[in-house]
Chain A
Amino acid sequence: MHEVKRRYVIPGDKIVEGNFRPLMNVIRSGNALVATRIGIAETGRDGVKVIPLSGVYIPRVNDLVIGKIIDHSSLSWEVDINSCFSAHLPAQDVFGRDFSSARDDMTKHFAIGDMITARIIAFDRTRDPMLTVQDRDLGKIPRGELLRISATRVPRLIGKRGSMIQTIEQATQTRVLIGQNGIVVVTGRLPEGVNLAVRAIRMVEEEAHTANLTQRIKGLLNVPDTTTPPPQDRGSLVAEASKPGEIESTIDEVEEELEVEGEK
């Protein structure tokens, strides 16, 4: 187990001095590595990063997002992805290359107000994000309970290889769709299960940065603490961080280390 030092930081805080690599939300200033956002600073072998605890969702290519159709032109739908930019879903993505606005009615497919799961296929400094729904399990979401959480808490809600969200799903008999942009949709047959899942999700959002969270979630759900769900293939529905392991695994490693400490 490698040594990782962690601290709470605000922007401008010096994290450490020396020859470390600045990773996320960290800049080098002279001999010091400095935080640029509020969050948990981690200094490890591969570098220094700050896991942010606040901030609007900034789109990344390959992210799975849940968006709302808010308008359409003759060539594409405009989609609100809860970010600083509106995204576009080209009509061709749905109707194919020989799409014709005279023949294919866009509103019959996606109407204003519809919620969709989509993947970001293009985004850079010069243009708005572009989406696709051409993957397994993408497209219109027909039903479910909608909630918004801070995008910075999504990795914690998913957990290492999906462990946190699976714990919640299994205990409440629900299916939870999570967009990297902080939009979450919960479906389940029993309203009590859905309500409990929503409470668990809210608890994760509020306490994402604290220790022993998994234990407390399991307590809320009445799940014995010893069970760990086996990693499952969730297909494209799991919103993995686009750089796998970098964000979610570090917070979960903290958790596991702290829990192991507690048991001793």
Chain B
Amino acid sequence: MSSSKRSTIIIEHLRKQQMWDALSRGKRLDGRDFSEIRQLELETDVIKKANGSARVKLGDTEVIAGVKVGTGEPFEGLENKGALIVSAEVLPTASPYIEPGPPDEEVVELARVVDRGVRESEMIDLAKLVLVPGKIVYTIFVDCSVLNADGNLFDATSYATVAALLTSKLPIFEMQDQKVVDTGETQPMPTTSMPVSVTAARIGDYVLMDPNAEEEACMDSRITITTIDEGFCATQKGYTGSFTPDQIKMAAEAATIKGKEIRARLKGLVANNG
């Protein structure tokens, strides 16, 4: 069951005034334009024990994603595909408002939206990751830990997940005498496309990309749009306000353009780390 909550962060009226003043002049409080994203840092292979990993800093939001590959049963209904699941935790280190415990509805939504972007983009050819059809397949777990939260966990988590998967080394398993054996060799993860998630918040009539925590505390509604080269693969409207259909269409167009730009940057950052 999901219920309305009181807002955890109460933004000072002075800051709201400053924000409206700035927005009316086309700027945000941190000096950015409406469609500007914060500084993006990316480092891959930060967790050597994982098959792949990435640390992303988007402004002050910091996320680490780790990939662990094993073997197991396929998902029901997907007997001829490898199993992939993205999970997330917002660690209690991330902000004064987090309490330790099982993921709440916001964190579950975060994991599922990132998962959807990866799954529906088909960035990993899961059909290639089957050992015994219907019985034993590769299992790919991507676990994301948010270390510091300053807004837009969706995009930061998505970029970390995608970068970790792109740079993962897949262990090569074989069946020997009906048992799974790790041959000890690895191969690069078989990836195709690269989904890019772009999130925007609506404050009044202004739509701002890559909202920070303060902007999220003032927003009316939020939209996350994930694109691939060929089009869209996932979308999620969040928070308690609404969008007009035109605002959504504009956001979709902006996400496509911005998505291309961010895709190029992520590719560059991944290449630098290699």
Chain A residues within CB distance 8 Å of chain B: 68, 70, 80, 111-115, 141, 143-146, 185
Contacts and interface: CB of A to CB of B under 8 A. Distances in A.
A185 B18 CA distance: 12
B13 A113 contact: yes
List 7 tightest A-B contacts by C-beta distance, closest first.
A113-B13, A146-B14, A70-B10, A68-B12, A115-B14, A115-B12, A114-B13
Contacts of B17: 143
Contacts, number: 27
B54 to A, nearest CB: 31
A129 B12 CA distance: 21
Given A114-B12, A144-B14, A185-B14, 5 more contacts: A113-B10, A115-B14, A141-B14, A143-B17, A145-B14
A143 B14 contact: yes
Contact of A145 (B10, B16, B18): B18
Nearest to B18: A145
17 contacts: A68-B12, A70-B10, A80-B10, A111-B13, A112-B10, A113-B11, A113-B12, A113-B13, A113-B16, A114-B12, A115-B12, A115-B13, A144-B14, A145-B18, A146-B14, A146-B15, A185-B14
Contacts of A114: 12-13
Contacts of A145: 14, 18
A20 B10 CA distance: 47
A5 to B, nearest CB: 38
A35 B173 CA distance: 58
Interface string B1-23: 00000000011111111100000
Nearest to B13: A113
A187 to B, nearest CB: 10
A144 B17 CA distance: 9
A141 B15 CA distance: 12
Contacts of B13: 111, 113-115
A204 to B, nearest CB: 21
B18 A68 contact: no
Nearest to A140: B13
Contacts of A80: 10
A193 to B, nearest CB: 15
B2 to A, nearest CB: 23
B10 A146 contact: no
B19 to A, nearest CB: 11
Contacts of A70: 10
Nearest to A191: B21
Contacts of B11: 113
B6 to A, nearest CB: 9
B150 to A, nearest CB: 14
